[in-house]
Every structure is written in structure tokens, then in C-alpha cells.
A and B are shown apart, each in its own frame.
Chain A
Amino acid sequence: MVERVDSKMLLPREAIDASGQRLPEIVLHGVSKQFRNGALALQNVSMRLEKGEFVSLLGPSGCGKSTLLRLVSGLTPLSSGSIAVNGITPVNARELMSFIFQDATLLPWRTVEHNVGLGLELEHAARPMAKDKVAQMLELVGLTHVAQRYPRQLSGGMKMRVSIARALVNRPRILLLDEPFAALDEMTRDRLNEELLRLYLEQHWTVMFVTHSVAEAVFLSRRIVILAPHPGRIAHVVPVDLPWPRTVETRLTNAYEQQVALVSRMLRSVQAAESTVEGTEGGGR
């Protein structure tokens, strides 16, 4: 059984300070990424993720938010600038990080249990210990009863929960999520958002979350970074001042709705600026 932190211990950061644990932080300095075809995906992006912070990246398509996430994961190399994850390079810090993809990306030939255990298996964890951890994770995401099933027998929401369990089994300190719930229906997405926050308060990760959804970003984040495209750059950084813990009730409050409205306006202004640029370019005789 995983220990549940008392939900009264609202801020992960406080919880960490109390237990004296060090959590990693992510520092990006003047990061640029130019693809081989010459397209400039990101230009001079600098930001800093505090320990235990939940930051969402929001922006129109083509703003490089997914690229930014991949740079932090080390899956894509930088063109210039620097990224430090807990003081070391992203590639060296891989064991601290877990990446959750837009699709559940489960291995169809493995049962749920063996999908969740994949990371442990690849890193040669001892079998009995691995089995224990897998069982813990399945319980954490409420999937113990489908442990022996194959992915094709699961709903989209369940697959995503398996994907989350798989990401958590190696006890990451940093979670990188690339539009993980984009393919799900709204109700499933809301429920998974609540579960994700519950786990976040228990496990104190530092989180980078890429999304298209303003509502999702506001509900989850401590800060929202809005990116502008062509080239990808930071347009706004919006702190989200909603009380913790955030629950179903949070979505019903005025404060939440005002935040959503504010962020939506900012996002629209970024998009509007973009379309004006495109408009003048297109209209140039």
C-alpha cells in the first residue's frame, strides 16, 4: 500500500521542506532548436521549474511546446543554449524522469501487468521486487482487477491509466506529459486530471505538462507558460492562484472561471497576433 499524504498538507513544496527531501529542478537557458530542414522550432527560451512545481505549456500548434518537452527529456538534442535537470544534462538525468505520451503507447502483446513492469524489466530490477512495485502501481491507479488483461480489452481511459502506472513504477521525480489526455472524452479527461493531481500531492513530482486545453492547464498547474509560434518562444507566464487541494468543486468556483477566462484571452491574443502576421505576409503584394 502506498502511503497517502494527509491532504491537509496542501503544498508539495512545504511537504518536501518538512521531510528534508531534495527534489530536482529544471533550468532552461537560452534554448533554441532548429530542425534539419531549417525550421526554427524554438528560439531563446529560458525558464526555470521550481522543485515540486506543476507547469503547463500552452500554445497554438507549431509553437514548439512538444519540442520543448522532448528537449528536456533528452530525446531530442538542443541546437543551442543549455538545459540542466537537477544540475545534470537531460540524458544523464533520464532515470529521474518519466515521459507520458499522447497515446497510451502500450505494448499490445503484453498484459497490463507486464506493460507496467516494462521499465523495471529494462533496468533489470529483481523479479519479486518488480512484481511488488507493479502491484502497488496498479492499486494506485485502480487497475488491480485488470492486471491480466491485454490492452485491446481496455477502454481509452483505462489504457491511459496503465500508461501512467508504467511511468510511475520507476519512482520518477520529474514527469513530462505530452498532451496525455487529448484523445479522451471530456468526462474521462476530467477524472484523470483529478487523479493526476491526487498523485501529484502524494508524490511531489516536478511536472511539465503540454496541453491544448486551457481548462485542463488552469485546473492542474501552479504556473502556465503560453508559447507563441514562428519561432516558438515564451509569450506569457501566468501564475495560477487557486487553492489546494483542487477537486471537482474547484471547477465550480468563480476564481477558477476567471482564471480560465484570463488564460483564454491571453492565448487568443497570441493567436491573433500570429494571424495578423500571417495576414500581412499573405496580403503583401
Chain B
Amino acid sequence: MKRQLWLMVNSVIVLTCLLGIWKLLVVLLKLPKYMLPSPELVGGAIVDRFQALLAAFFLTSETAAIGLAASIVVGVGIALIFAQWRGLRRLLFPYTILLQTVPIVAIAPLIVMWAGNGAHSVAIVTFIICLAPIIANTTQGLISVDENLIDLFLMHKATPVQILFKLRLPHAMPNLFVGIRVSAGIAVIGAITGELFTSSSRVGQGGLGYSILYASNQMETDYLFALVVAATVLGFSFFFIGMFLEWYFLHNWHESSRSEIPE
């Protein structure tokens, strides 16, 4: 308890120092506010345009969540197929790595071109960027089951479906959550990248990505900074929700998730 308090005090001190250095830079170098707005200007932008920020925040979080959820469902489905059919896995698994290495900024305009303007394209971009970690981690968990446990199930005349859903899938849960944690972090990046390539139907009303584009075009650097703060908060929230779900589902039985969230 005392230690945690000390830790909190420390991080507040670090934050204050960083803000101080920032302010000092602005004052000493006499930077114009479109190059680097001072911290209080950014704070002002956050307060003044809170409504717009909040709207953008929720729009982006919604599409990111939909893309992430879809990637979990589809990714687990693909992993289950990979676990069941080894030949198929050997044939197709390398392509999931390809999926991971292809730069999302390169394919985002393609997707917008094919699927059209709108939130659904953003969700698709998010889905694509989130899919590979889910597939890779879940497959790994599904196929790394102890041989003795499979023998145990066979001695009870378990069917392949029973082995898959009563043994492999629960065994893969910790791996699945590692995948979700990774994907939750990049889901927000995917959504913002997607939004950079889709235009909004109404001016000033779009997700964070769209607003970032708008603010940079208008040279509203203070608002741009406010958007960066919002995007960071969003990314962190996703990551934290992923961690909380992992703790919630696994803390009873799995060591790795026991100590992550302190009491």
C-alpha cells in the first residue's frame, strides 16, 4: 500500500518534470504555437473541444472494438481448424505471418477503395491487423497440449470434438489472451490508420484518425496534441480491458494471470 502510494507520487513527479521541460522548450526556443503549442494550450484545447474529442474517441473505439471482436471470433475459428487439420495448418500457417508483415498503411487505401467509405472499412482494416496475433497464439495453445492428457481423453473414448472443446480450447485460453492483449494494443492503431483513408460524411465529425488529418491540415496543432492524448488514452483502455478480461477468466487456475492486477 505504502509502496503503491510512493510509486504514484513518483510518476506524478516525472509527469510534472516532462511538462516543465516541454514548457521550457516552448519559451526558450520561442516556438510558434503551430510548431509546438505549450502544455496549457493543449490543456485548453482538450477542455474547449471536449465534445468533439469525446465523439471522435467513441467513434474510433466503436470501430476498433468491432474489428477486434471480429478478429477474435474469426481468428479462434481459424485456429480451431488449424488444430484439427495438421496438413491444412502446414499449408496455410505461413500466410498468417505474411498477414502480420504486410504494412497496414499500404493496404488500407485498397480496402477503402473496395469496401467504400465508412466505418465498416475502418473495422475491416482493424480486423486485418488484429487477426494474425490471435491466430498464431491460439493455434500454438491448441496444439501444445500434453500427450498424456490426450491419452486420458482417449481412454474415456472421447470424440475429436470433445478433445477439441473440453481439452484443447480451455488449454489454449492463456495463449488466446496473450493474442488478445497484443491485438488490443494494435486495434486502435488499425482503426486510426483506417480513418486516415476514409473521409467523414460531415466536416469535423469523424473518428480520431479523421480528426488528426483535419487538425494537421488546418494547422491546429494544439488540437492535434489533444487528439494524440485521446488516442493514447484509447489505446491504453483497450490494453487494460484485455488485461482485465484475462485476469477475470484465468485468475482461478492460471499462474501467469494471478499477479498482474494487484489486489
- A-side interface residues toward B, CB under 8 Å? 73, 75, 94-95, 97-99, 101-103, 105, 107-110, 118-119, 121-123, 150-152, 170
Contacts and interface: CB of A to CB of B under 8 A. Distances in A.
Contacts of A119: 156
A95 B155 CA distance: 8
24 contacts: A73-B151, A75-B151, A75-B155, A94-B155, A94-B156, A94-B157, A98-B155, A99-B155, A101-B148, A105-B146, A105-B149, A107-B149, A107-B170, A109-B170, A109-B171, A109-B173, A109-B254, A110-B253, A118-B156, A122-B153, A122-B162, A122-B166, A123-B156, A151-B253
B157 A95 contact: yes
B158 A122 contact: yes
Contacts of A103: 148
Contacts of A150: 252-253
Point out which of A107, A122, A152 has the most chain B C-beta atoms below 10 A from its C-beta. Answer: A122
Given A95-B157, A118-B156, A122-B166, A108 B253 contact: yes
Given A94-B155, A122-B158, A123-B156, 13 more contacts: A95-B157, A99-B152, A99-B155, A101-B151, A101-B152, A105-B146, A105-B149, A107-B170, A108-B253, A109-B170, A109-B253, A118-B156, A152-B255
A102 to B, nearest CB: 8
Contacts of A152: 253, 255
Contacts of B149: 105, 107
A94 B254 CA distance: 32
Nearest to B153: A122
B167 interface: yes
Interface in B98-155: 146, 148-149, 151-155
B154 A75 contact: yes
B165 to A, nearest CB: 11
Contacts of A109: 170-171, 173, 252-254
Q: Looking at A75, A94, A98, which has the most chain B CB atoms within 10 Å of its CB? A: A75
A73 B155 contact: yes
A94 B146 CA distance: 21
A157 B171 CA distance: 23
Nearest to A100: B152
Given A109-B173, A109-B253, A150-B252, A123 B157 contact: yes
A152 to B, nearest CB: 6
Contacts of A107: 149, 167, 170
Nearest to B249: A109
Contacts, number: 53
Interface residues of B, number: 21
Contacts of A122: 153, 156-158, 162, 166
Contacts of B157: 94-95, 122-123
B160 to A, nearest CB: 12
Contacts of A170: 156
- List the 5 closest A-B pairs by CB distance, nearest first: A122-B156, A150-B253, A108-B253, A101-B148, A109-B170
Contacts of B156: 94, 118-119, 122-123, 170
A151 B255 CA distance: 11
Interface string B156-195: 1110001000110011010000000000000000000000
A105 B155 contact: no
Most buried by A among B154, B156, B157: B156
B25 to A, nearest CB: 52
B153 to A, nearest CB: 7
Contacts of A98: 155
A18 to B, nearest CB: 31
A109 B171 CA distance: 8
B152 to A, nearest CB: 6
Contacts of B253: 108-110, 150-152
Given A94-B157, A95-B157, A150-B253, A105 B170 contact: no
A151 to B, nearest CB: 7
Contact of B151 (A99, A108, A123, A151): A99
Contacts of B166: 121-122
Contacts of B170: 107, 109
Interface in B249-263: 252-255
Nearest to B167: A107
B172 to A, nearest CB: 11
Contact of A105 (B148, B154, B252): B148
Interface string B202-217: 0000000000000000
A98 B155 CA distance: 7
A115 to B, nearest CB: 10
A68 to B, nearest CB: 15
A173 B24 CA distance: 83
A73 B154 CA distance: 10
Contacts of A110: 253
A121 B148 CA distance: 18
Nearest to A102: B148
- Chain A CB count within 10 A is highest, among B152, B158, B162, B167, for B152
A151 B173 CA distance: 17
